Structure 1
Amino acid sequence: MVDQQATASGGGLSGSGNAGLFTGILLCFGSMSSIQFGSAFSATAIHAFGPSTTTFLRLVMAAVILALIVRPPMRSYSREQWKSAALLGATMAAMTLCFFAAIARIPLGLAVAIEFLGPLAVATWSLGKGWRLVWPVAAFIGVVLLSHDGAGWVGDPVGMLFAVGAGIGWGTYIILMKKTGAVFKGLEGLSMSLLFAAIAAAPFGLPRVGEALNPEGLGMMLGLAILVPLFPYALEMIALRRMPMSAFGILMSLEPALGALAGFLVLSQPMTPLQMLGTALVVAASAGVTSSGNGEGEGKTA
């Protein structure tokens, strides 16, 4: 536990620290791919059962699966641990409810681009002042370009508002995930947080849950629960123990690019040259700020 917290503190990145950072980057890429393609594959379930019920059942199944694997010793947890898990769980529920409501109304790439403003704010705060702020600015410009299809802004206002809500949740999630990972062993924090997330999402998802209680619906939800949130959340919690929060936050800036790619490949949502330029800017900003953080050899942590 002490070693894990020391790794998460984002200290020197030489030697074994460089290896930890590289592993964290790979874990982030795995998480982002799972989230974006899982979200794209969720379109069928969202259309059939609604975004709230889809979110609720995914969280329930993910919570049950991980609890059976981890078997968290609930009676031994302190008040601080319960509080951390509850806050992270509520944030997970709000973030996923808003995001699925957004992609039910607007293209996946646009939803992710708007949602990205949350981690962008976290990355900007973590980097501090100076020339390094050019990278978040470049990423923001890229997000704006991704939000435009060449003829006009894409999506309806309600969907965009849900995406903004998801972005606020995402920025909060990054901070709380780091804190929760530091006070729990292994994946116990994630297991407890998912239980709280399922409880928080219940009032929104229960009204239509009966529509999904059939072999086809439950099988679909089980697959989605593994893709989003179980697999990516586990990867992110492990990644945050191996890299500074600033590097994590900006690496997640690749989400709009992966979201646009998943939307194109799975949902046949095309990308214009303008949106491709936006993707290139986001990728460049991610690479630039990661290099800056690695050169400094340190980063702020929550």
Structure 2
Amino acid sequence: MTPSLADVASSNVALRNLLHGLPGVDRVGADQRAAMLGTRSIKTTSKALAIDLAIRMVDLTTLEGADTPGKVRALCAKAVRPDPGDPSVPKVAAVCVYPDMVSRAVEALAGSGVRVASVATAFPSGRSSLEVKVAETAFAVGAGADEIDMVIDRGAFLSGDYLKVFEEIAAVKAACGTAHLKVILETGELATYDNVRRAAWLAMLAGGDFVKTSTGKVQPAATLPVTLVMLEAVRDFLSITGRKVGVKPAGGIKTTKDAIKMLVLVNETVGDGWLDPDWFRLGASSVLNDLLMQRQKLATGRYAGPDYFTLD
């Protein structure tokens, strides 16, 4: 189905032909399958394993204008030791911050194994020049970021300027060097599941290492059906190209139930090969406290108070 990458990137016409030649998404079918998988029950032993896996998949995030070095250091401490009273709780996958806070996070996480992620490319709007986007990416990587979360130009995508989106992703990927690139589609602004599938394919063709649903600033964000469509896209992309790409739902994942529904969706759609922080992440912060409370409940039979864990 796919021509060579060079041919794909040769023109808007070539990209349009490929993206609009993808199989259409059955919206009713996607909604129904996601709803059905969301009702799956998990037994106690499996639930305990799922909670620990979900904790290891969390990108603990602070992306506010009021972020301070102290807040970032505190978040990093929580990432390494989510429950100070229980050293058996696993570390999270990464801490995600703005570019100017990357060096603080790198310092705080040194030797921990927790990765440092940074948003870039005029997050969350993506409204800036390519030169600024590349420079911001290079700044974050130079400060020590292991991962970059970029936003696509949704205006260009929705107006059919696929080549511009492709070229921006490819340029940012080049600026990442050895850092991994997560491409944020902002699915809440893409209007249709077909557009979500096309945007995911475009991101993967341009070199993205992960496709990510949302910035967390736009609703709806990481819904089960949208995540299902993206999981199907990475599955099909692997089958056709031989390259595996990760998925990161972000925004609106608040409870342990939400997180476990996502894990069930992954297992049933792409298989347990993606049930690993290297291939699946949860972009959330508030969900971590609920995971910790549910974990403690399973271990002790008692719920911790809501103020037992820090608020981030």
Q: TM-score, normalised by structure 2?
A: 0.23
Query: Which has the larger helix fraction?
Result: 1
Query: Which has the larger strand fraction?
Result: 2
Q: TM-score, normalised by structure 1?
A: 0.23
Structure ranking higher on relative contact order (CA contacts 8 Å, 6+ apart): 1
